[in-house]
Structure 1
Amino acid sequence: MNPALAARAGTGELVRSVTVSGRTLRVSVRRGDGSAPPLLLMNGIGASLEVLQPFVDELDQRRTVVRFDVPGVGGSPRPVVPYTLATFTPVLAGVLCELGYDGPVDVLGLSWGGALAQHFAVQHRRRCRRLVLAATGTGSLMVPAHPRVLARMLTPQRHRDARYAEEVAATLYGGTVRTDPAMAARVLHSASRLGPRRGYYYQLAASAGWSSLPFLSLIRQRTLVVAGDDDPIIPVVNARILARGIPRAQLHLYSGGHLALVTEAAELAPVVERFLDAD
């Protein structure tokens, strides 16, 4: 592993490359004491695993946390062939096995990662104990963002250009970055983006045409839906749709925007912890 890549993970975390079914992923593991199921984090589009570091830092140290870079993003090499959510979730199940986690895990998906998490929960229901869906929706069949927002989501520029990230922060992310747009650049690591642009487009294509709306009732795990009241990318009505469609879901609304799981990690991490630890 390139030392520069390893240095990007949090202190005490093991960063390594794991290859499953011909796909190599850069994976970070923060090992806990084994008293709680591991938590698998699935990130938003174009975001490397470092983006979630503030959230990981707020989680109890007893909890094992696994996160990864999707193919072609962050430190993972670009895929040789395209992938879809349906073909990628078996890779993640294999990664867990390679890491020694053969039993059920808890899964948290943020934004694009929330779509992946929903698919994982259905396709690998015995591997997913509890599910957290943050700032996400049902895919192509959802209440869409404003066209101006959607247009800016078609390019990875905000992940690579810090000045551009500041320019579009209020429009895209809402919440606290409206008054501190430079925060978006810091959170997204815009000045230190790794991986080819092509990885972003592979990730975008992987979820094209996908929707969980027809199979929400098949998500049987206890689920926490976390959503902000000022999220331009995922209007809050989509969280209500998720919470109503998933049989064992509960909804937590917060005052904030799309990136609050990271920018307000100290507020939201305890919410997630209480849900995961509840009887």
Structure 2
Amino acid sequence: MPHTLKAVDGHEEPIENHSLPRIFFSKVGNQKLRTAIWSGVDKGEGKRTPLLFFNGIGANLEIAQAFADTFTGRDIITFDMPGIGGSPDPTIPYRPWWVAKAAKQILLENGYDMVDVLGVSWGGGPAQQFAWQNKKMTKRLILCATTTGVTMVPGNPKALSKMASPKRYIDRDFLAKNFETLYGDAASSSGEFSINMMPPSVKGYLFQLMAMMGYSTIPFIRRIKAKTLVIMGDKDHIVPVINGKMLNALLPRSKLRVIEGAGHLFLLTRRDETIQIIRNFFLEPEVPMPHKDSVQLPSVEESYTHYKPKIAS
């Protein structure tokens, strides 16, 4: 393993300055899921509640690195959906209830029986599903740039049309050119997202899209008991703020925060500000957490080494 990591602006960062995950495979039924656990750093206040992280559509687990590098006070657990990142393609279609079931199994196998749950964009559906299916395991719920499912108010058609294809994960030039149209975040922030981006398989991406077809959390959302924080960006081109207001109105124990000038990817592009909002929600003591530049994990660099010939052919 190298002693330095490539940072988003091209300079080298000492590897010991960053919290790197343990990456391994979990098996749920016949499906292998590549799983990551970042170990929390004790900041003098004792071990905090672990965080279960549900990522966005097509997003591999390494994209959570920048978040994990800043939000270091607790263990963070996440996994790649079938056909995404390093997980093998799905053999059969799946639904959010299966994702929540898989998450529970992974947590229990690794010794976690109580977690805070965070869902971003697509991951907000499984996050709500998990909080409902596993009330006793869910302490608090954070929903970022997400909706109730098919019952959402849709975003900008230009942005949504580009979401139908995984091209932005395959072609970095395409991503940079269309970043602001897609997400509403400044184009200059595209590197924060793309530095740890890995191409999903077409089958994996399509199955992830299909998982949400006809799905809505409205039938059970009022029975979610966990205290909930909903965070939205007012410049989000994919999930308009009205969806956050709907979630806030429907969830029994929720509060809404809207970040002015933020697009869909505020968890990365406005990372420090968003994490401070989450820490305030958790009532965490004021412990300094200096900003760290985003760095590329070795697993991403290796994946692109193998993937480039496939693109060229």
Q: Map Cα deviations across residues 183-233 of structure 1 (whole Å, 9 max, x no partner).
A: 32551348x624422111111111111111232211111000000000010
Q: Say if 2:115 is the partner of 1:115.
A: no
Q: Say if 2:241 is the partner of 1:231.
A: no
Structure 1: which 5+ runs fail to align? none
Which residue does 2:193 correspond to in 1? 187
Which residue does 1:79 correspond to in 2? 90
Which residue does 2:303 correspond to in 1? none
1:159–1:189: 8 Å Cα contact kept in structure 2?
no
TM-score (normalised: structure 2)? 0.80
Residue 202 of structure 1 aligns to which amino acid in structure 2?
F
Correspondence for 1:269 among 264, 267, 275? 275
Q: Say if 2:45 is the partner of 1:39.
A: no
Q: Say if 2:218 is the partner of 1:207.
A: no
Residue 205 of structure 2 aligns to which amino acid in structure 1?
Y
Structure 2: which 5+ runs fail to align? 7-14, 286-313
Which residue does 2:159 correspond to in 1? 149
Which residue does 2:183 correspond to in 1? 173
1:13–1:30: 8 Å Cα contact kept in structure 2?
yes
Superposition deviation, residue 167 in structure 1: 2.3
Whole-angstrom CA distance in 2 between matches of 1:188 and 1:213: 33
Residue 266 of structure 1 aligns to which amino acid in structure 2?
D
Which residue does 1:24 correspond to in 2? 32
- What's the % identity of the aligned pairs? 37
Residue 50 of structure 1 aligns to which amino acid in structure 2?
E
Residue 132 of structure 1 aligns to which amino acid in structure 2?
I
2:192–2:268: 8 Å Cα contact kept in structure 1?
no
TM-score (normalised: structure 1)? 0.89
Superposition deviation, residue 278 in structure 1: 6.0
Residue 29 of structure 1 aligns to which amino acid in structure 2?
I
RMSD of equivalent CA atoms: 2.2
Q: Map Cα deviations across residues 45-91 of structure 1 (whole Å, 9 max, x no partner).
A: 001111121111111x3311111111110011111111111122111
Runs of 4+ in 1 over 3 A off after TM superposition: 7-12
1:49–1:74: 8 Å Cα contact kept in structure 2?
yes
How many aligned residue pairs are there? 268
Which residue does 1:124 correspond to in 2? 134
